Chain A
């Protein structure tokens, strides 16, 4: 059996290759394929075939073998790309993903592949006058049954008598391998330490001159076992994969393998490079979280040490001892900060993890709706905290679906409107200050504000008076309201009216924001802003009695000082007029423990804002801005209303983080509207 680590590596490689195939089939479909694209898919399929065969996933090996065959024919020009072919390829890819899922889930590859394999074969036969169906891949079988030619067989049998094993070693070099001959030499040299190489394909001379593709195989007689041989070969750099299979003889022979490799004493002492295949380790995210916690503690200890240094200095003046304490403390702070940064980095993944799923989605939905769409993706390499990546998948899929379904018009509509038949959806990720910005732009029909107003009234979200009074921007915000749908008809792609509000709440849950701008007839742009990480946020710290409370800075618009006499009342709500605008007020003390404020002649107000809504929160005192590490309140408490979590303060105490988003949201729209009207 294979260890979890080995299976892990296999699955990672599988994931990567499946993605490669996916991307390249999409290119293929656009008929922009050149031989490199086909070659790419061919190689990916080949790699999966090899490794899945080694791992014992026979169905996967068989499926990829069929894919490989097909692409071999495409590569040679015997087969042309056609729409049914691409569809079949996608079907095969889906089946492959299904098998992948099953393996990930811990089972074998039990999915049904027969239907797809049959289809692949059909295509294979379609355009091919002289079918050369090799039913099973040589590598797909656990044991290679050789067709003996007398010489090879007799040598192998003889060796077996002496207790040696015969292995077929199939080596695949990295596609960007520069000096193939050297790799070949190293493989031969290394394997000769283990036993005797009795044949190779292509012949040894050709191999030595580098006249071969990226793979070759040889027959090895050795006393070592399969894994040892495999590891030996893998110890050589630029080896992509190696397949070792035991050789057994049966029946008659066809295969020609006559070349016997002579002992070759090529150029001596070629520097052996480090093992290339294992450079990464997989670490549980929880372990990283624990590390982060510990670093946080280190920072607290550092703060305490700082305080000691101060005490020392005030007691003994600035003597050497006091100075070296502050030196140590400074160094500690630097080290812990670096440590924190490094651990943060370890949690980052390129956004490609999510983006790569999308082209296929666009293709499928567009095809279903009969739309023609160019999907342009930019900034795939932008890195995000993996927690963020896990969360944004669904909202992104949703927005893209909407863009295809509601945004882009049908080719006919577009032509009538004087636009090109093919619509464009542009997905872009980029860094902006300490945030990530993802924009989804379509050049479709845009959103009609009047339509939104009508629908909002129809859906009972506001009355006509209110609707008329709202600015265009405010009215457009309704698309994020629960139960609002702009689609006239409900399709199975989108339009059940449970979408945009969830998109927004999912994004806001991770302290992100989503906004959109639209120009009727020209298209719509959604802008998602996300924090680089969920673990650390900037916060405004305020005092309430003797406790410290944090407001996430992204919701803080400004802080103001008001006099108690500035407070006015609208109905029962306290408000204050700031620069001619009415700001509803809350008192943190009342929110937190229901107590009345102490009388003060000056009140500190934190102004919070999200979208176009603003509220003020009266606090005891303002402390300042600080970066804080967000901690959950733990599974026992779960979500506590009004709180977004807790953080550990500089002195080791726990401070609470206000759920500013819900605070803003829960201040009724009506109050605001009413207040605004007065």
Chain B
């Protein structure tokens, strides 16, 4: 047993998404807000619900249901936007409900089962057994992976030439 990682305590914000219980590392969570009016952005990927104003900053909001390819439902009173920040990217993620903050020892994390593959596997960092429930630890970087957007950008801007001198 790895004594270093075995004793590390982790905290995650636990939230509900469709019939799944998920957790997201608390270090990345900036704040959790109620649903507010989201301005739709035409031309953005379909999982991007739109943009909101957080104290003067424009923050994109993604619908985690759409991102995880769950059935899209209307938002409810318990729907929340979790604002997360990784690197220089800040986004909001819409989840069905936010439950609690869960503490666990990193020794209790098992790797994602091999059955999960394809698109979903990028999003899952591991699984925690908490009593009789399974908490899926989501991988923020995986969710925010920009491949699709980058592709889009690339197509749109084309192979732009570096600025050079000449008429």
Q: Does A506 contact B (CB under 8 A)?
A: yes
A294-B55, A297-B55, A653-B37 given as contacts; is B144 within 8 A of A498 (CB)? no
A487-B167, A633-B60, A654-B58 given as contacts; is B43 within 8 A of A643 (CB)? yes
Residues of A close to B52: CB separation below 8 A: 654
Instruction: Determine if A642 and B56 form an interchain contact, defined as CB atoms under 8 angstroms apart.
Output: no
Residues of B close to A296: CB separation below 8 A: 56
Q: Does A416 contact B (CB under 8 A)?
A: no
B residues in contact (CB < 8 Å) with A:
37, 39-44, 48, 50-53, 55-60, 88-91, 144, 146, 149-150, 153, 156-157, 161, 163-167
Q: How far is the CA of A632 from the CA of B44 in the complex (A)?
A: 14
Q: How far is the CA of A487 from the CA of B166 in the complex (A)?
A: 9
Q: Does A49 contact B (CB under 8 A)?
A: no
CB distance from A665 to the nearest CB of B (A): 13
Q: Does A527 contact B (CB under 8 A)?
A: no
Q: Does A652 contact B (CB under 8 A)?
A: yes
Given contacts A643-B43, A654-B39, 7 further A-B pairs with CB under 8 A are A402-B167, A479-B167, A636-B146, A638-B146, A642-B42, A654-B50, A654-B51
CB distance from B47 to the nearest CB of A (A): 11
Closest to A646 in B: B58
Q: How far is the CA of A639 from the CA of B41 in the complex (A)?
A: 11
Partner of A496 from B149, B153, B157, B166 at Cβ < 8 Å: B166
Within 8 A of B (CB), among A577-593: 591-593
Residues of A close to B90: CB separation below 8 A: 634, 636
Residues of B close to A502: CB separation below 8 A: 161, 163-164
Closest to B57 in A: A293
Between A and B, how many residue pairs show CB distances below 8 Å?
121
Partner of A636 from B40, B149, B167 at Cβ < 8 Å: B149
A637-B149, A641-B156 given as contacts; is B164 within 8 A of A498 (CB)? yes
Q: How far is the CA of A654 from the CA of B39 in the complex (A)?
A: 6
Instruction: Determine if A631 and B166 form an interchain contact, defined as CB atoms under 8 angstroms apart.
Output: no
Q: How far is the CA of A653 from the CA of B38 in the complex (A)?
A: 8
Q: List 6 A-B contacts (CB under 8 A).
A: A296-B56, A495-B167, A496-B165, A631-B57, A653-B39, A655-B39
Q: How far is the CA of A343 from the CA of B89 in the complex (A)?
A: 25
Q: How far is the CA of A578 from the CA of B52 in the complex (A)?
A: 39
Q: How far is the CA of A406 from the CA of B167 in the complex (A)?
A: 9
A18-26, A191-199, A393-401: which lies at the interface = A393-401
Partner of B60 from A293, A294, A636 at Cβ < 8 Å: A636
Residues of A close to B88: CB separation below 8 A: 635
Partner of A633 from B53, B58, B150, B167 at Cβ < 8 Å: B58
Instruction: Determine if B153 and A638 form an interchain contact, defined as CB atoms under 8 angstroms apart.
Output: yes
Ordered nearest first, which 10 A-B pairs have the shortest CB separation? A293-B56, A496-B166, A654-B39, A631-B58, A592-B42, A499-B166, A297-B56, A494-B166, A296-B56, A646-B58
Instruction: Determine if B55 and A293 form an interchain contact, defined as CB atoms under 8 angstroms apart.
Output: yes
Q: How far is the CA of A548 from the CA of B51 in the complex (A)?
A: 13
Within 8 A of B (CB), among A652-669: 652-656
CB distance from B140 to the nearest CB of A (A): 12
Partner of A499 from B40, B51, B167 at Cβ < 8 Å: B167
Residue with the highest number of chain B CB atoms closer than 10 Å, among A493, A497, A640: A640
Instruction: Determine if A636 and B39 form an interchain contact, defined as CB atoms under 8 angstroms apart.
Output: no
Residue with the highest number of chain A CB atoms closer than 10 Å, among B43, B163, B167: B167
Q: How far is the CA of A637 from the CA of B51 in the complex (A)?
A: 10
Instruction: Determine if A639 and B156 form an interchain contact, defined as CB atoms under 8 angstroms apart.
Output: yes
Q: How far is the CA of A636 from the CA of B157 in the complex (A)?
A: 16
Q: How far is the CA of A646 from the CA of B61 in the complex (A)?
A: 14
Instruction: Determine if A637 and B56 form an interchain contact, defined as CB atoms under 8 angstroms apart.
Output: no
Within 8 A of B (CB), among A372-386: none
Q: Does A485 contact B (CB under 8 A)?
A: yes
Instruction: Determine if A634 and B59 form an interchain contact, defined as CB atoms under 8 angstroms apart.
Output: yes
Partner of B166 from A495, A591, A593 at Cβ < 8 Å: A495
Instruction: Determine if A632 and B58 form an interchain contact, defined as CB atoms under 8 angstroms apart.
Output: yes
Closest to A299 in B: B56
Residues of B close to A485: CB separation below 8 A: 166-167
Q: Does A98 contact B (CB under 8 A)?
A: no
Residues of B close to A640: CB separation below 8 A: 41-44
Q: How far is the CA of A493 from the CA of B167 in the complex (A)?
A: 10
Closest to A594 in B: B42
Residues of A close to B149: CB separation below 8 A: 636-638
Q: How far is the CA of A547 from the CA of B58 in the complex (A)?
A: 16
Q: How far is the CA of A636 from the CA of B153 in the complex (A)?
A: 11
Residues of A close to B161: CB separation below 8 A: 498, 502
Q: What does the 1/0 interface line of A307-319 toward B look like (CB < 8 Å)?
A: 0000000000000
Residues of A close to B150: CB separation below 8 A: 638
Within 8 A of B (CB), among A267-301: 292-294, 296-297
Q: How far is the CA of A646 from the CA of B43 in the complex (A)?
A: 14
Q: Does A217 contact B (CB under 8 A)?
A: no
Q: Does A500 contact B (CB under 8 A)?
A: yes
Instruction: Determine if A652 and B53 form an interchain contact, defined as CB atoms under 8 angstroms apart.
Output: yes
Instruction: Determine if A294 and B165 form an interchain contact, defined as CB atoms under 8 angstroms apart.
Output: no
Q: How far is the CA of A634 from the CA of B85 in the complex (A)?
A: 12
Residues of B close to A632: CB separation below 8 A: 58
Residues of A close to B51: CB separation below 8 A: 633-634, 637, 646, 654
Residue with the highest number of chain A CB atoms closer than 10 Å, among B37, B41, B91: B41
Q: Does A88 contact B (CB under 8 A)?
A: no
CB distance from B127 to the nearest CB of A (A): 27
A499-B164, A654-B52 given as contacts; is B58 within 8 A of A648 (CB)? yes
Closest to B56 in A: A293
A293-B56, A638-B153, A648-B58 given as contacts; is B167 within 8 A of A656 (CB)? no
Residues of B close to A641: CB separation below 8 A: 43, 156
CB distance from A534 to the nearest CB of B (A): 15
Residues of B close to A653: CB separation below 8 A: 37, 39, 53
Residue with the highest number of chain B CB atoms closer than 10 Å, among A296, A502, A592: A502
Q: Does A422 contact B (CB under 8 A)?
A: no
